[in-house]
């Protein structure tokens, strides 16, 4: 492989805020506003999604540089199948291209890829790409990047409760142990872009005590600086978990 094509195994990316030493371990993002970003520019929605993938790449790099333990991104919900076929196909195409182009960088930088949601319902070649990527990065010890694909939180909770019941006890701990996120740190901060103030069936259980950060920024415009701003705000919050 030529040096130019070598995966980035660097530890200093120009222009990225680094050295985050705040308290957040796990951040999740509802990446919203790709369509509106494109519309504002009289561009096809597909271009908005493509720029959304560029934002994903930069935010994942920033999360790693900041030393976050886990980043969970809502890429495709179980309700997104209701979108027009050509948009679903564009999103699948982008996902396919993203895994192919970025897996070497993840592996080179010790990032562990994880998928939450029922990804086996995706096109067979993507399932194969995902499983290869999961196997290649399984030992990653820097940041866990969880991508939610065909994910619905209510479905996840129902599945987890059924699994807990099958094993005997339906307790909070038993359900938690069956969630897709069971091996991840507790969710600290949930970010949603594009000005919508709702959770849209994302991490409903995990968000029980998470801080929320809503911003009007449309996802393709979301930068590592915005992530840093949300984390800085998070660091000022006093979490009481119901106590006082
Ligand atoms: C919302 O925009 C965004 C999505 C449908 C999911 C996010 C998808 C990406 C960032 C691209 C694929 C991701 C990966 C990881 C390869 P919207 O279309 O709902 O925007 P709108 O509300 O403005 O119409």
The answer to whether position 223 is within a domain reads: yes
Long-range contacts of 48-53 (CB under 8 A, 24+ apart): 48/220, 49/87, 49/90, 49/91, 49/94, 50/94, 51/220, 52/219, 52/220, 53/94, 53/97, 53/98
* Tens of pLDDT, residues 136-154: 999 999 999 999 999 999 9
Atom of ligand 1 minimally distant from the CA of 76: 6
CA pair distance 15, 210, nearest whole angstrom: 29
pTM: 0.92
Q: Output the CA 45–ligand 1 centroid distance in Å.
A: 9
* Tens of pLDDT, residues 172-185: 999 999 999 999 99
CA 116 to chain centre: 9
Neighbouring C-beta atoms of residue 101, cutoff 10 Å: 12
The answer to whether position 130 is within a domain reads: yes
Is ligand 1 within 6 A of the CB of residue 146?
no
The answer to whether position 115 is within a domain reads: yes
Is ligand 1 within 6 A of the CB of residue 53?
yes
CA pair distance 46, 52, nearest whole angstrom: 10
**242 falls in which pLDDT band (50, 70, 90)?**
confident
* Tens of pLDDT, residues 184-220: 999 999 999 999 999 999 999 999 999 999 999 999 9
CA pair distance 146, 140, nearest whole angstrom: 12
Is residue 144 a contact partner of residue 71, using CB atoms and an 8 Å limit? yes
Q: Output the CA 171–ligand 1 centroid distance in Å.
A: 35
CATH number of the domain within which 179 lies: 3.40.1180.10
Domain of residue 144 covers 2-13+20-239
The answer to whether position 24 is within a domain reads: yes
CA pair distance 168, 185, nearest whole angstrom: 25
Is ligand 1 within 6 A of the CB of residue 220?
no
Atom of ligand 1 minimally distant from the CA of 38: 23
* Tens of pLDDT, residues 113-138: 999 999 999 999 999 999 999 999 99
**Predicted local confidence at residue 239, as pLDDT:** 72
Q: What's the whole-number average pLDDT of the chain?
A: 92
pLDDT of 38 above 80: yes
Return the residue matching tokens 């890429």. Answer: 75
The answer to whether position 244 is within a domain reads: no
Task: Work out how many domains the chain is built from and give that number.
Answer: 1
By C-alpha distance, which of 200, 201, 236, 197 is closest to 213? 197
Q: What token pair was written down for 204?
A: 């409903």
**Predicted local confidence at residue 18, as pLDDT:** 57
Is residue 164 a contact partner of residue 171, using CB atoms and an 8 Å limit? yes
pLDDT of 1 above 60: no
> Collapsing DSSP states into helix, strand and coil, what is residue 221?
helix
The answer to whether position 72 is within a domain reads: yes
**Rounded-to-5 percentages of helix, strand, coil across the chain:** 50, 15, 40
């Amino acid at each position: 492989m030529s040096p130019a094509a070598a995966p980035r195994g660097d530890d200093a990316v120009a222009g990225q805020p680094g050295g985050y030493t705040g308290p957040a371990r796990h951040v999740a993002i509802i990446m919203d506003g790709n369509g509106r970003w494109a519309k504002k520019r009289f561009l096809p929605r597909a271009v908005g999604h493509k720029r959304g993938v560029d934002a994903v790449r930069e935010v994942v790099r920033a999360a790693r540089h900041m030393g976050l333990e886990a980043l969970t991104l809502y890429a495709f919900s179980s309700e997104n199948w209701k979108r027009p076929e050509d948009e679903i196909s564009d999103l699948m195409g982008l996902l396919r291209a993203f895994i192919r182009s970025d897996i070497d960088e993840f592996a080179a930088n010790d990032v562990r890829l994880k998928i939450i949601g029922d990804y086996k319902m995706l096109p067979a070649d993507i399932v194969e790409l995902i499983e290869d990527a999961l196997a290649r990065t399984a030992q990653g010890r820097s940041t866990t990047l969880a991508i939610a694909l065909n994910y619905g939180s209510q479905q996840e909770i129902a599945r987890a409760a059924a699994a807990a019941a099958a094993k005997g006890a339906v307790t909070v701990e038993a359900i938690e142990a069956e969630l897709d996120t069971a091996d991840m740190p507790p969710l600290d901060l949930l970010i949603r872009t594009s000005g919508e103030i709702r959770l849209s069936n994302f991490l409903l259980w995990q968000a029980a005590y998470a801080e929320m950060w809503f911003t009007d920024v449309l996802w393709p415009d979301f930068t590592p600086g915005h992530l840093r701003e949300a984390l800085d705000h998070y660091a000022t919050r006093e979490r009481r978990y119901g106590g006082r």
